[in-house]
Structure 1
Amino acid sequence: MKKSFLLLLLCLLSWVVGAQKKITDKHITYQQERMVFKQWDADKFTPNPGFLGLNPQYWITWALHPNYPKTDLRPLGPLGPQTQRLMLAAAMQNTDNIYKLHADTLRNTALSEASTYSSDLAFADPLWLMYYRNEFDSLLNQADADMLSGLSPTEKQYMISSGLLEWYTEESRALLERLEIARSTTVDRGSRIMAYHRMLSEFRKLSASWETKKSRAKTYLAIRSSAQKLRAGEVPRPASPKSDIQIANDILKKSKL
């Protein structure tokens, strides 16, 4: 019973499928083609007027809207809504690109200005890294023990008691403070480099003056010791002082030797 029913059902389905026939209406096909992808061809608006415009099907179809064949309604036509949307999207994209280029230019300018003025990047300045950092190294890493290096205990005591060490310490610390201010202040790079240049010149003069004072300390102590011995009578005085002529003659004799 079940097998007979299934066989009958299969036969019925095969008859239905075989009975289907593709229905093709050229009027609908033409309308689909011109609305989707083909040219809006007014000659393919069917039914045609016929001989002397006496085709009744034409009048029944197009009498109520005669301008329809003349109006291109394709979405992708030259003036179609989809074409207008695509053109508008392209124009907006072009505007967005212009705005993006302008924003990128402003960003790059801002970054360039920030890198030029910001003190946060002063430590990475190439000129500071390659030149000024090495020139200011003795000032940046200055130690109190190194200030009197190379001097004897007597000379060190003289430099301290005379106030020369205190003077040099104050001057070097003031210069170091100015250098740190120049490195931490928000200012354009050119002004910062010029400040480095001026302070480097001052530091070199200060260092040269300090080295001169250190080298003259031994000479001054020797002169002071001789003067003290002379005043104490430890050194015999000459019987009679020499005249200027005698002194000049002695100098000439020594220069000839």
Structure 2
Amino acid sequence: MKKYYLILFLCFPSRLVMAQKKITDKHITYQQERMVFKQWDADKFTPKPGFLGLNPDYWITWALHPNYPKTDLRPLGPVGPQTQRMMFAAAMQNTDNLYKLHADTLRNTALSEASNYSSALAFADPLWLMYYRNEFEGLLNQIDSDMLAGLSFAEQKYMISTGLFDWFREESHALLERLEIARSTTIDRGSRIMAYHRMLAEFRKLSASWETKKSRARTYLSIRSSAQKLRSGEVPKPASSKSDIQIANDILKKSKL
């Protein structure tokens, strides 16, 4: 019994070594090279037809597939499925990039339009910061008590009693309210700038009119004070060497000449 075990033990490694022997078949190798990476070479289709095409292996192998050697079936061939998938993937990637570019353009346009129309960014407008804010400073920081600055008590009393002060205050507040509406309303930037321009012209005209009224009030009060002094006799009338009749006669004589 021990002898049989020894024979089996000695025979088993040799059979294992034979089973692990590498089998190389040029037909399989050619087919693997064709399908994977190498050129679809019709000359490497084996078995060959042989002398006068009498090789039976050739007919057994290729008789039922006569067009197989002529058709390039490589996945990575010029028109192979894998090559087509790679080309389609590249085309889709290019399309995705175009869509992304288009979407980015739309986004940038939307942001530009939003910043152009939004009132939330009106305070940061460069033209407002560099020009209009300084020009409207007198209106934005206007205080009612400062409207009569530089006038005497009598002049201030006259401006208030005649209603000029109330008129200027109401006009200033109305113009300031319109300015705040233009800054807080969602409108086109060009329309907003044009509104600034029109209101700035109105503000300058209103300020000039107010300064003129203050100057005229000062002149009027001065004339009225002088007239009151004349009527009260505080200021003597200028003496004349000729009477009114003599002055009239002199004028008539000159007109006849």
- Category of TM-score, reference length = shorter chain: 0.7 to 0.9
Shift of 1:15: 8.9
**Residue in structure 1 matched with residue 73 of structure 2 by the alignment:** 73
Residue deviations 1:14-51 (CA, integer Å, cap 9, x gap): 99469732221111111110000001111111111211
- Aligned 1:1-257 pairs, distance under 5 A: 16=16, 20-237=20-237
Structure 2: distance between partners of 1:99 and 1:13? 66
Q: What is the letter of the counterpart of residue 83 of structure 1? A: T
Q: What is the letter of the counterpart of residue 184 of structure 2? A: S
Shift of 1:143: 0.9
Structure 2: distance between partners of 1:149 and 1:214? 10
Change (3 A) 1:50 1:15: closer
Query: SS at 1:46's partner residue?
Result: coil
Change (3 A) 1:15 1:52: closer
Structure 1: distance between partners of 2:241 and 2:72? 132
Q: What is the letter of the counterpart of residue 204 of structure 2? A: R
For structure 1, which segment, 194-203 or 112-121, has the greater mean C-alpha deviation from structure 2 after superposition? 112-121
Structure 1: distance between partners of 2:38 and 2:91? 26
Change (3 A) 1:25 1:242: farther
Structure 2: distance between partners of 1:110 and 1:153? 58
Shift of 1:135: 0.4
For structure 1, which segment, 119-128 or 162-171, has the greater mean C-alpha deviation from structure 2 after superposition? 119-128
Structure 2: distance between partners of 1:57 and 1:242? 159
For structure 1, which segment, 23-32 or 224-233, has the greater mean C-alpha deviation from structure 2 after superposition? 224-233
Change (3 A) 1:44 1:109: same
- What is the percentage of aligned positions where both structures have the same residue? 85
RMSD, aligned CA = 2.9
TM-score by length of 1: 0.80
Structure 2: distance between partners of 1:63 and 1:118? 79
Change (3 A) 1:74 1:162: same
Shift of 1:226: 2.6
Shift of 1:174: 1.3
Structure 1: distance between partners of 2:113 and 2:163? 46
Structure 2: distance between partners of 1:173 and 1:232? 43
Change (3 A) 1:44 1:169: same
Shift of 1:106: 2.7
Structure 2: distance between partners of 1:194 and 1:242? 66
Change (3 A) 1:13 1:242: farther
Shift of 1:239: 6.2
Gaps spanning 5+ residues in structure 1: where?
A: 1-8, 248-257
Structure 2: distance between partners of 1:205 and 1:119? 27
**Residue in structure 1 matched with residue 251 of structure 2 by the alignment:** none
Query: SS at 2:122's partner residue?
Result: helix
Q: What is the letter of the counterpart of residue 190 of structure 1? A: G
Aligned residues: 236
Shift of 1:154: 2.4
